Amino acid sequence: MAAPTTTVVDHLVERFRELECREAFGIVGDFALRMFDGATKAGFPIRVTMDEQGAGFAADAYARLRGFGVVAVTYGAGGLKVANAAANAWAEQVPLLVLSGAPGVAERAGDPMLHHKVKDFDTQLRVFADLTCAQAVLTSAHTAADEIDRVLSSMLSQQRPGYLEVPRDLIGVPIEAPSGQLDVELPPVDQVALSEAVADILQHLAEAHSATIHAGVMVLRRRLQLALRDLAVAGNLPVASSSLARGVFPERADLGLGLYMGAVSPEAIVQRVEQADLVLSMGVLQTDLTLGAFTAHLDHERLIQCDDTEVTVGYRTYRQVPLWALLPALALAVSEQAISLAHTPLGVDEIHGSDGMAAPTDAPLTVQRTVALLEQQVDERHGLLLDPGEALFSAVDMRVPTWALGSAYYATMGYAVPAALGAGLADSNRRPVVVVGDGAFSMTGLEVAACAFHDVHPVVIVLDNAGYGTQRPILDGPFNDIPALQSENLPAVLGVGQAWRVRNEREFEAALRAALALDQLAIIHVCLVEGDRSPGLARLGAALARRV
Ligand SMILES: Cc1ncc(C[n+]2csc(CCOP(=O)(O)OP(=O)(O)O)c2C)c(N)n1
Ligand SMILES: [Mg+2]
């Protein structure tokens, strides 16, 4: 009997569904039209955005929340625009697929000068070879399914972006349908090393008076949140999140400490982490930005570092002990041994200071008060998107109710607004609340139109400090000044949504209340006090000054 057949596009869509991915983001072009049409007809919509980079960021956020995302583009002019999104996804371990249309296999014969071509037909492939963990240009119906599956499997195994280029004459051709599900290999386990690592950690825990977990992005990527919770609850261990992993543990729970980012974090959180007898670092990417420009003081003797593939306890490393195997095994062992340490929950005013959560006044707005007032109004119905700059730094003072996504290591400006589109569709139970600088908003803020177009209704808070505020303390000059945007006028331009321009605490509080009650796009243009800095940035500056 002949093997069942499918087509390239149907096979792609089937795999995407298997990965809980129900839509993509992207912009069409003639080399991609058949691909977009085939996907749409297969019931897999590709949501248009204002710009390809926006589609890349939307798909990235979708992947962060669902485990897999797709940005679909045309060749060259479209594809090369998502290089930055792929780079961000590589750096922050996001399985984002770049799916590019391309000239047909038959059209490439003789190397003609077709539009969107650069040096040769492989220019785009070479660019993405450096930005993705696996690539394929489909060249024949015989190998297409295997090539697709190879790229998708690598992406999921490694938690990195991938690249698939589909020549337009291959989209609809019949191919043999592979049997069975996608084969995804997790990092290998050495069972002996695993039990020794667990025993070693248990012994350290039994001797410690206090211990803190620092939870990072690989806990999310490997979907280990429940095991993390089991471990924390069993051992009564407080959990600080890394800035790439906000939402990995409920920050407002008694065991939640909020965000640890080296000296950027409030002193109370720094103390709970740095003065604990033991720090269990779980899947944290140890980067400059996530550790507050390397201002984190984590002694080697007190640090147990568990990453995606191995565990290091003090000076001993256990190879082939991946996080996915270690975390559940450790949670079970801690519960069986009934190891439980002392922990006193952190009070809200220990993070914000005594007047941090005070009621709004007529005082002009600072970043600190904007974030404190925001914290009072957001709850489990909201998810946050934080752009690099003050939006990211100021949110260290806040305990977020659910998740908060941001380009927290690669730090690409303009991530948050387009990411709100992907996040809003990936998690329809949470309304996206974006905090973004005026500089970043002028880069990609128009994606609010794409959000509204696709029935996603973010609340967008634009922190206007008249330019590139976080660059100024490093080195100031006219290059940090930018054209002012009256972002409160955007609803008139777009024909949708409502907006406010606010200057004091009371105005902001009222605007936010109205925005959260409104079921459509809401933009709040926050005019900050001149020269204002968030406490996080000030703490970072002070810590770096001590180093000089
Ligand atoms: C795409 C991109 N370009 C440039 C930078 C360098 N950079 C980092 S922060 C920053 C200023 C951001 O300005 P704004 O969005 O207004 O936030 P603020 O710093 O004022 O809080 C710049 C230019 C970057 N991170 N990403
Ligand atoms: Mg700014």
Q: Using H for helix, E for strand and C for coil, what is the string for 118-164?
A: CCCCCHHHHHHHCCCCEEEECCCCCCHHHHHHHHHHHHHHHCCCEEE
Name the closest-CA residue to atom 9, ligand 1.
Answer: 389
What residue ranges define each of the domains in the chain, with the CATH number in brackets?
5-176 (3.40.50.970), 191-337 (3.40.50.1220), 351-542 (3.40.50.970)
Contact 250, 267 (CB under 8 A): no
Tell me, what's the pLDDT at 452?
98
Q: For residue range 73-86, what is the model confidence (pLDDT) as tens digits? A: 999 999 999 999 99
Query: Among the atoms of ligand 1, which is closest to the Cα of residue 469?
Result: 20
Nearest CA to ligand 1 atom 13: 468
With the most atoms of ligand 1 within 8 angstroms of its CB, the residue from 371, 387, 413 to mutate is 413
Q: How far is CA 490 from the centre of its chain?
A: 26
For residue 534 and ligand 1, the question of a CB distance below 6 A is answered with: no
Around Cβ 66, how many Cβ atoms within 10 Å?
18
Low-confidence stretches of the chain (pLDDT < 70) are 1-3, 354-355, 548
User: Rounded to an integer, what is the distance from CA 256 to the centroid of its chain?
Assistant: 20
Atom 5 in ligand 1: which residue has the minimum CA distance?
A: 413
What is the reported pLDDT for 353?
73
The beta-carbon contacts of 486-489 under 8 Å, at least 24 apart in sequence, are 486/525, 487/438, 487/441, 487/445, 487/462, 487/523, 487/525, 488/523, 488/525
Q: Which atom of ligand 1 is nearest to the CA of 84?
A: 1
User: Which letter does DSSP use for residue 467 in this model?
Assistant: S
SS3 318: strand
Burial class (CB in 10 A: 0-12, 13-18, 19+), 363: exposed
Q: Which of 303, 268, 266 is nearest to 286 (CA)?
A: 303
What pLDDT shows up at residue 1? 47
Tell me how far the alpha carbon of residue 464 lies from the centroid of ligand 2, in angstroms: 5
Tell which atom from ligand 1 comes closest to the C-alpha of 438.
16
Q: What is the pTM of this model?
A: 0.97
- Output the pLDDT for position 300: 86
Ligand 1 atom index nearest CA of 391: 21
H helices then E strands: how many in the chain?
A: 20, 21
Q: pLDDT tens-digit profile of 150-170? A: 999 999 999 999 999 999 999
Of 471, 530, 540, best ligand 1 pocket probe by most atoms within 8 Å of the beta carbon: 471
Closest atom of ligand 1 relative to the 393 alpha carbon:
21
Cα-to-centroid distance, 78 and ligand 2 (Å): 28
Residue 438 CB–ligand 1 contact under 6 Å: yes
Nearest 5°: the CA angle 470, 472, 474 is 90
pLDDT at 2: 57
**Ligand 1 center–CA 464 separation, angstroms:** 12
